[in-house]
């Protein structure tokens, strides 16, 4: 495959944009209204990578930039969406070239990681991606909600005529309730504007709960088909959640059941009198690809004690500077020659560093090699289980 076929942006204007829409429809089978919404509200030529031959698009990848928060750090991260290749070009390295081009560009800009929601985890694992977040999905039958009551004022918004000050209030609410998550998207006013716009394009709506002081204490967004599908529900306390669930019960005469997406650590079953008519599943959501190992290890070094030191060998097939032995102590991270205490690949580093698995759980499947078992106490103290939250598809 020749690089001359790979164009990054401004390669044909409207004609190419229409081809991208058609390819999206053919590959992902989304509704035309949603595809048009994406290209009207999110699509950016300069953040689009594609593979063309004779002015025909055979592969595409869209990069949407968001502020990412990891512990006390904040940086820009690229969310890769719409990654796809036409069936006749699969197996020719088109996706690989698109991904590696995105990876290299983000690396050159100094970004810590890129991320995506995979259709199949194995597709991206070979490029160094690994899961770091999970969402809970609940399927409910209406009778389990019959006893919930509304304690607070709840406002329904279903079109673009809402007061723009709501966006600021939603941003402030999200900043407060998302503090418990280690890795998350740091939503701004503009992000919520797009979130609401996406909901409305799917004929959905959002219910916002307010406390007695007029501050937002919870909300849920939903769309309706054969069932009620709650795309997101966030809340500060039990009374707020119960009020929102009481709204859902009001749909009992019109729909068959309810599906609710929640953060991994929100246990809806704890609020229900019975687990009958309730089904819960966990779905892994986001994979990340670490770009700069030293940045990741530097954050982890904060957890070390003054006299502690660990040497980790990292293997990265695609970014040479990430491969090697890194000596880590409280004050610095240094790349060195010599022996190591732990050896792992770039995938497992992401899994451990962002807390998707703790050291002991990953050790059980023999995913890495521990050479110096005297360091296991240190490794267990820095590679701990954490809760991350990503719930966005554009």
pTM of the shown model:
0.93
Q: Domains of the chain (ranges plus CATH)?
A: 3-111 (3.40.630.30), 136-283 (3.40.630.30), 292-382 (3.30.1050.10)
Report pLDDT for 279.
Answer: 96
Helix (H) or strand (E) holding 75: strand 73-85
State how far the Cα of 102 lies from the Cα of 79, in Å rounded to an integer.
Answer: 11
According to the model, what pLDDT value does residue 2 have? 40
User: Where does residue 344 rank: exposed (0-12), middle (13-18), buried (19+ CB within 10 A)?
Assistant: buried
User: What is the pLDDT, as a whole number, of residue 276?
Assistant: 87
CA dist list (Å): 298 to 265, 285, 301, 324, 327 = 27, 26, 5, 15, 10
In this prediction, residue 74 carries a pLDDT of 95
Give me the tens of pLDDT residue by residue for the chain, a chain 394 residues long: 344 455 444 445 788 899 999 999 999 989 999 999 999 999 999 999 999 988 899 999 999 999 999 999 999 999 999 999 999 999 999 999 999 999 999 999 999 999 999 999 999 999 999 999 999 999 999 999 999 999 999 999 999 999 999 999 999 999 999 999 999 999 999 999 999 999 999 999 999 999 999 999 999 999 999 999 999 999 999 999 999 999 999 999 999 999 999 999 999 999 998 888 999 999 999 999 999 999 999 999 999 999 999 999 999 999 999 999 999 999 999 999 999 999 999 999 999 999 999 999 999 988 899 999 999 999 999 999 999 999 999 9
| Per-residue model confidence (pLDDT) at position 43 | 95
- Give the per-residue pLDDT at 274: 85
DSSP assignment string, 141-207: -GGGGTT----SEEEEE-STTS-THHHHHHHHHHHHHGGG-SEEE---HHHHHHHHHHHHHTT-EEE
Query: To which residue do tokens 């940045």 refer?
Result: 295
Q: Supply the pLDDT for residue 13.
A: 73
Total length of the chain = 394
pLDDT of residue 12: 53
Task: Write the CA distances from 170 to 64, 192, 260, integer angstroms.
Answer: 21, 7, 20
Cα 272 from Cα 329, distance rounded (Å)? 47
Decide if 124 contacts 287 (C-beta within 8 A). Answer: yes
DSSP 20: H
Helix, strand, or coil here: 354?
Answer: coil
Q: How far apart are the first and last CA of the chain?
A: 29
- Let me know: does 359 contact 352? Beta carbons within 8 Å: yes
Rounded Cα–Cα distance for residues 109 and 106 (Å):
5
Q: Which residue has the tokens 């690989």?
A: 96
* Run of H or E including 245: helix 238-249
Please report how the helices 165-177 and 189-201 are oriented relative to each other, as an axis angle in degrees rounded to 10: 110
CB–CB of 64/79 below 8 Å? Answer: yes
* Contact of 236 with 215, CB cutoff 8 Å: no
SS3 214: coil
Helical ranges in the chain per DSSP H: 13-28, 32-41, 94-108, 121-125, 165-177, 189-201, 238-249, 293-301, 346-353, 359-364, 376-382
């Amino acid at each position: 495959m020749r690089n001359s076929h790979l164009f990054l942006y401004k390669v044909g204007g409207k004609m190419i944009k229409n081809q991208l829409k058609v390819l999206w429809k053919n590959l992902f089978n989304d509704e035309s209204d949603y595809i048009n919404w994406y290209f009207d509200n999110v699509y950016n030529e300069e953040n689009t990578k594609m593979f063309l031959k004779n002015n025909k698009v055979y592969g595409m990848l869209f990069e949407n930039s968001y502020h990412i928060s990891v512990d006390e750090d904040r940086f820009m991260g690229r969310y890769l969406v719409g990654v796809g290749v036409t069936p006749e070009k699969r197996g020719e390295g088109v996706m690989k070239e698109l991904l590696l081009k995105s990876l290299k560009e983000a690396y050159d800009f100094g970004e810590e990681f890129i991320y995506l929601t995979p259709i199949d985890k194995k597709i991206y694992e070979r490029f160094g991606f690994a899961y770091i977040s999970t969402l809970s999905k609940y399927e409910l039958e209406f009778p389990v909600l019959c006893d919930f009551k509304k304690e607070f004022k709840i406002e329904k918004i279903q079109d673009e005529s809402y007061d723009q000050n709501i966006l600021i209030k939603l941003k402030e609410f999200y900043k407060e309730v998302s503090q418990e998550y280690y890795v998350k998207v740091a939503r701004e006013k503009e992000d919520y504007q797009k979130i609401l716009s996406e909901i409305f394009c799917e004929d959905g709506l959002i219910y916002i709960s307010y406390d007695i002081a007029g501050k937002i204490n919870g909300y849920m967004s939903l769309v309706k088909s054969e069932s009620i599908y709650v795309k997101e529900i966030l809340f500060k306390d039990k009374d707020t959640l119960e009020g929102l669930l009481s709204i859902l019960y009001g749909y009992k005469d019109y729909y068959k059941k309810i599906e609710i997406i929640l953060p991994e650590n929100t246990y809806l079953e704890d609020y229900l009198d019975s687990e009958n008519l309730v089904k819960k599943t966990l779905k892994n959501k986001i994979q990340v690809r670490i770009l700069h190992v030293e940045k990741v290890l530097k954050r982890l070094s904060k957890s070390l004690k003054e006299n502690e030191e660990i040497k980790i060998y990292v293997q990265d097939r695609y970014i040479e500077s990430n491969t090697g032995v890194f000596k880590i102590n409280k004050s610095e991270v240094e790349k060195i020659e010599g022996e190591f205490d732990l050896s792992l690949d770039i995938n497992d580093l992401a899994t451990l560093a962002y807390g998707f698995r703790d050291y002991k759980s990953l050790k059980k499947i023999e995913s890495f090699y521990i050479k110096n078992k005297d360091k296991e106490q240190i490794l267990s103290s820095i590679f701990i289980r954490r809760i991350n939250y990503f719930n966005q598809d554009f």
